[in-house]
């Protein structure tokens, strides 16, 4: 995925790999999905996961309250990290 931003780093749209491959000579503005969904960095893992399920998405842009892009939240990455964290906690508590 490629995020298209303006001069203030506010997302205007997102380009999927499929769209870029479809017509590699097309301008980004012709292929991008306008108005990508966003969340705030204060959202918890559970909030973001539920939101993505409701939106039927596997990723979402993370922006400030002013709309400035901070990053991209990928559900699969978050789940993998949470699984690793849970395993570490389980090991730490089982040693006690």
Domains of the chain: 1-36 (no CATH), 37-96 (3.10.580.10)
pTM reported for the whole predicted model: 0.78
**What average pLDDT is seen over the chain?**
90
Distance CA 12, CA 36 (A): 7
- Least-confidence region, from 9-13, 17-21, 41-45: 17-21
Distance CA 19, CA 41 (A): 28
| Beta-sheet pairing, 38-39 with 59-63 | parallel
Residue 96 reports pLDDT greater than 70 = no
Distance CA 91, CA 96 (A): 9
Q: What is the largest CA-CA distance in the chain?
A: 60
């Amino acid at each position: 995925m490629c995020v298209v931003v303006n001069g203030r780093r506010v997302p205007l749209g997102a380009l999927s790999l499929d769209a870029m491959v479809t017509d590699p000579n097309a301008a980004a503005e012709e292929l991008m999905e306008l108005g990508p969904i966003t969340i705030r960095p204060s959202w918890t893992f559970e909030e973001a996961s539920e939101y993505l399920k409701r939106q039927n998405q596997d990723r979402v842009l993370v922006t400030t309250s002013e709309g400035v892009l901070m990053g991209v939240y990928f559900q699969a990455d978050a789940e993998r990290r949470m699984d690793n964290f849970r395993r570490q906690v389980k090991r730490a508590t089982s040693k006690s």
